[in-house]
Amino acid sequence: MKDLTLTVQGMSCGHCVSSVEGALNQLDGISEVNVNLGEGKVDVKYDEAKVSVEQIKEAIDEQGYDVVA
């Protein structure tokens, strides 16, 4: 398992948190997701054999948010 923290712009409320968490939890290989709305941070614990950082970023992007770092 690896840890990843992404900086994500555009998340503004609980619905946004739910949509990001929901999208990431649907990916295979994700074991934990934590979104810090105030800081605009998304923490993910993932299995690098099953899912790539690129796929994680893409899932967030598809929900309409910008992964900036």
Q: Are strands 41-46 and 66-67 parallel, antiparallel or unpaired?
A: unpaired
Tally of CB atoms within 10 A around 11: 23
How many residues touch its own copies under the rule CB under 8 A: the total is 8
- Return the residue matching tokens 């949509």: 19
Confirm or reject binding of residue 15 to its own copies (CB under 8 A).
yes
* 19 belongs to the binding site for its own copies (CB under 8 A): yes
- Look at the block and give the residue holding tokens 């946004």: 16
How far is residue 66's CA from residue 69's CA, in Å, rounded to a whole number?
9
By CB under 8 A, residue 12 contacts its own copies: yes
Q: Is 13 in the site for its own copies (CB under 8 A)?
A: yes
Stretch touching its own copies by CB under 8 A, among 8-16, 25-33, 45-53, 54-62: 8-16
Give me the residues that bind its own copies (CB under 8 A), please.
Answer: 10, 12-16, 19, 64
